[in-house]
Amino acid sequence: MPAVQETVEQVRAIDVDQYKYGFVTDIEVDKAPKGLNEDIVRFISAKKGDPEWMTEWRLEAYRRWLTMREPTWARVSYPPIDFQDQYYYAAPKKQAGPKSLDEIDPAILETYKKLGIPLREQEILAGVQTSRVAVDAVFDSVSVVTTFKEELKKAGVIFCSISEAIREHPELVRKYLGSVVPVTDNFYATLNSAVFTDGSFVYVPEGVRCPMELSTYFRINEKNTGQFERTLIIADKGSYVSYLEGCTAPQRDENQLHAAVVELIALDDAEIKYSTVQNWYPGDAEGRGGVYNFVTKRGDCRGRNSKISWTQVETGSAITWKYPSCILRGDNSRGEFYSIAVSNGYQQVDSGTKMIHLGRNTTSRIISKGISAGRSQNTYRGLVSAHRKAANARNFTNCDSLLIGDQCGAHTVPYIEAKTASAVFEHEATTSKISEDQLFYCMQRGLSAEEATALIVNGFVKDVLQQLPMEFAVEAQKLISISLEGSVG
Amino acid sequence: MADVTPIRTAAETALAELFPAVKGRLPGDATIAGQRAEAFKSFVDAGLPHRRIEAYKYTDLRALLRDVPPLATEPSADAVEAARQWADPFAGVDALRFTIVDGHVVAGLSDFKLLPDGVEAWPLAAALSAGPVASGLMGRVAPAKSDPVLALNAALMTDGLVVRVRKDVALDRPILVRFLAASGAPSLIVTRILLVVEDGARATLIESHEGAGVAHHANTAVEISCGDDAIVHHLRANASGQAGVDLSTLGVDVGGRCAFTSVAMVTAPSLSRHQIFVRCTGEHSTVTLGGGALLKNRQHADTTLVVDHAVPDCVSRELYKTVLDDEATGVFQGKIIVQQPAQKTDGKMMSQAVLLADGPTMNNKPELEIFADDVQCAHGATCGALDDDLLFYLRARGLPKPEAEALMLRAFVGEALELVDDEAARERLDGMVAAWLAARA
């Protein structure tokens, strides 16, 4: 069954040529020389004021990176990337350390205003929003401002840029950095480890429920500049934090590289909710330009009863290569992955998740919806595995995809590996086979099979998306109403 | 960045040295010899597939194949006589029987002379030497270069069967091919069957692989081409004991308005991989694939299939059931490709596994690759232990646990066996399941 008209129109509204965030901010920048070698790594390290152990860490990663090869297994194709034809560091020029927002280049403030991200606390307070969000704004290679720091400090929450954390809280950074995504994890993660410039650091102490949503807004502005950010979130015993991430970039004819690493650590009884609205520049209608989004995101449910939940709405980037994963190490821990990926134009998406069950009684749930239109290719690639000791592991996976037009492709590549009999894994890609019990319940009350299915699936997705704050969820809101009628596995 | 040059394993070295040593005595004319050399080169260039090769991710032949026995030689008169005494697992099935002992057709045990009108059959070795018939068909459905195991088969095949069912001929008796591994010393047995079912014809092919517990390596390829409006059933059973290696490839071209069904039943040997490549080239056809695997000890069985929909309005159904005990490993890799012109394709794939102990591993990879927007494709995969509630229900009615389990497992695998059209053959397969379950209890 082809897609319904309503869906077709909604997807068209977010087509690549409708990109709203394509403007360029004209400001003076400080750049590292083009290319990559040990000197550049040292240069970045010096710029960030790294302690010596950090510089060594980066250099070791760089040397390792030289021995690695680009991964080619993903279902994406692009011309070879010249890693020497890039700037690895670009920062807005500034006077010695701005102390308040008034000292920040007004052009940058204007940029964020245009993007709808308020950086002044009083503006946020005066606004109509009912919920407050603390923002870390990352502009090219540096974090320009982090809001609500004082208030968070009162609660004991540390929320700052990662470079600040390396200087101020080295004990935490040394303990946790690279403990979820090892330096040698993969080509792009290793590159990131060598040259990462900024990103956010969050530490929520024992028993604290973070008083507000935390968020980072990433903006690539400079030409030929790769953005390599690194995010590290630690939720100590019994704590809770919800973190949001948004990203945009100007319209440019050449491709830009974005290779981030995100590490989440949840200790006993802690919960981390990580939401992304990814809206990097997707390239134009002919497939020129756009951001290559090669990201490694992984969460480690290290403690008992911990929980990590990934929610992503993917509409941007020329190429997306991203698999937010959960390592369910602690007993009774829980991983979730909710994703909506919409591809248009010549976009290529290869995304999914990994749920690695190591502890007892661990559960995971994967809900993925892919919509491809135009000439795009949309692939779901996911792994669910249960270790021999993961007694009673449970997984439920549901991935649906929808094609609009006959020039695009939708692919599903699930890997399901079970090494214990008490694990129960279910993978399904039909909208007609959700949970027999739930369906039966709804149908018993007079709904048709199709209505009941729509109710269950959409009810689920809506529930997730509505938890995203408004300023990030413009696209997400539109997508909520997209029905997946006519979807294929 | 340095390129990695893998070191040849003992098995790779043995295979590489094998071909030059035996090529003089392999059947076939100059064209076939050329094709063999080419296929062999493509194998040597690639080496044995390993886990970095996506299609062999879960069946790393480089690691699993420790050695390779010598190529099987023509069986002695005694061996043939012994083979005559072997119990036929499909006894009672009214079929045209052909017997291949140690990779060589035994004419005395084959019904070449009983073929009805419109059906022709030759031993493959004779057909290869006699020229055009076989060389024109060879590799048409399953090109040697597409897969290393297939390339090895194309290079080393010693014998097999060529069968042609002429236009509009309905062959009502199944063609039963018995592959007997009789030699006492391990050997490499490489065979191939070519089956051509012309427009409007019907045929059933049953492969029965039998052995006596010697660690033979078998490499079998079956190429089937179905003309328009043809109805073809294929059945494969392997109960050749616990030792040895069985690599098999089934290549099928399905014409228009065809019905093609293939069911494979595996309880042996210690390492097996059955790969199926089906291509729908005519509209309004139905492809049904199914299988059951019952594995114990440290057995490893892999089913890898690719159904390629190139034209509109075809239906494909796949249903695979795996039962794993002890420390066995089951692999299912299924891929449905729907090409851009293949609108209105209806594809459904299901793989289900039951793990009976804490030791086994099941790897499932049901894949979809879709380029057309007006299609229905679904895949499912489940994996878990037997349902406690159902087990309790049966035990509450007085069945001891082993019997209750056996009943549930027989029903579980039985669902896939229901796809088998021939009732007598289906009963034999069900008997294999029952025997396996009885041995377990």
Check residue B195 and give its pLDDT: 93
* Cβ distance of B383 and A388 shorter than 8 Å: no
* Rounded Cα gap, residues A456 and A212, in angstroms: 30
Check residue A482 and give its pLDDT: 45
pLDDT band, very low/low/confident/very high, at A86 (cuts 50, 70, 90): confident
> Span A296-319, mean pLDDT?
89
Check residue A125 and give its pLDDT: 42
- The ipTM value here is 0.86
Answer yes or no: are the C-beta atoms of A290 and A348 closer than 8 Å: no
* Residue from B51, B373, B376, B391 to probe the interface with A (highest A Cβ count within 10 Å): B373
Is A31 touching B (CB cutoff 8 A)?
Answer: no
> Span A426-435, mean pLDDT?
54
User: Does A320 score more than 60 pLDDT?
Assistant: yes
* Cβ distance of B373 and A403 shorter than 8 Å: yes
Check residue A433 and give its pLDDT: 33
- CB contacts of B377 in chain A (<8 Å) are 429, 488-489
User: Does A127 score more than 50 pLDDT?
Assistant: no
User: Does A325 score more than 70 pLDDT?
Assistant: yes
The model's pLDDT over A58-83, given as tens digits with 9 standing for 90+, comes to: 999 999 999 988 888 888 888 888 88
Q: Kindly report whether the global pTM for this prediction surpasses the value 0.90.
A: no
* Strand ranges inside A220-358, DSSP E: 230-235, 240-248, 255-258, 261-266, 271-278, 290-301, 307-314, 319-322, 325-328, 334-343, 348-351, 354-357
Enumerate residues 6+ apart whose C-beta is below 8 A from A423: A357, A386, A390, A391, A392, A393, A394, A395, B355, B383, B384
Check residue A3 and give its pLDDT: 60
How does strand A377-386 pair with strand B245-254?
unpaired
DSSP H or E stretch at residue A41: helix A38-47
- CB contacts of A421 in chain B (<8 Å) are 355-358, 360, 384-385
> Span A384-411, mean pLDDT?
85
Quick one: closest CA in A to B388, which residue?
A: A422
- CB contacts of B378 in chain A (<8 Å) are 428-430, 432-433, 488-489
Show which of residues 64-103 on chain A sit within 8 Å of chain B, judged by CB atoms: 66-69, 73
* Residue from B317, B336, B368, B389 to probe the interface with A (highest A Cβ count within 10 Å): B368
User: Does A465 score more than 70 pLDDT?
Assistant: no
Is B371 touching A (CB cutoff 8 A)?
Answer: yes
Task: For the beta carbon of residue B303, count every other beta carbon within 10 angstroms.
Answer: 23
Q: Which of A127-136, A142-151, B89-98 has the lowest mean pLDDT?
A: A127-136
Check residue B436 and give its pLDDT: 92
> Span A150-167, mean pLDDT?
86
- Min CA distance, B357 vs chain A (Å)? 6
SS3 B192: strand
Helices (H), A71-225: 106-114, 121-126, 149-155, 162-168, 170-176, 187-195
Enumerate residues 6+ apart whose C-beta is below 8 A from A448: none
- CB contacts of A426 in chain B (<8 Å) are 380-382
- CB contacts of B372 in chain A (<8 Å) are 403, 406
Q: Which of A39-48, A120-129, A319-328, B171-180 has the lowest mean pLDDT?
A: A120-129
Q: Profile chain B (441 residues) by mean pLDDT over runs of 10 residues.
A: 65 88 87 89 89 89 89 89 88 92 91 92 88 64 83 92 93 93 89 93 94 88 94 92 88 94 92 94 95 93 94 94 94 93 90 91 91 84 89 94 93 94 92 91 69
Check residue A124 and give its pLDDT: 46
Check residue A489 and give its pLDDT: 43
- Min CA distance, B306 vs chain A (Å)? 13
φ, ψ at A414 (rounded to 5°): -90, 145
Task: Give yes or no for a cis peptide into B70 (omega within 30° of 0).
Answer: no
pLDDT band, very low/low/confident/very high, at A130 (cuts 50, 70, 90): very low
User: Does A474 score more than 70 pLDDT?
Assistant: no
* Rounded Cα gap, residues B40 and B150, in angstroms: 10
The better pLDDT of the pair A232, A152 is held by: A232
pLDDT band, very low/low/confident/very high, at A16 (cuts 50, 70, 90): low
Q: Which of A84-98, A273-287, B162-176, B416-430 has the lowest mean pLDDT?
A: A84-98
User: Does A92 score more than 50 pLDDT?
Assistant: yes
* Cβ distance of A421 and B355 shorter than 8 Å: yes
Mean pLDDT of chain A: 79
User: Does A12 score more than 60 pLDDT?
Assistant: yes
* Rounded Cα gap, residues B141 and B134, in angstroms: 12
> Span A242-261, mean pLDDT?
80
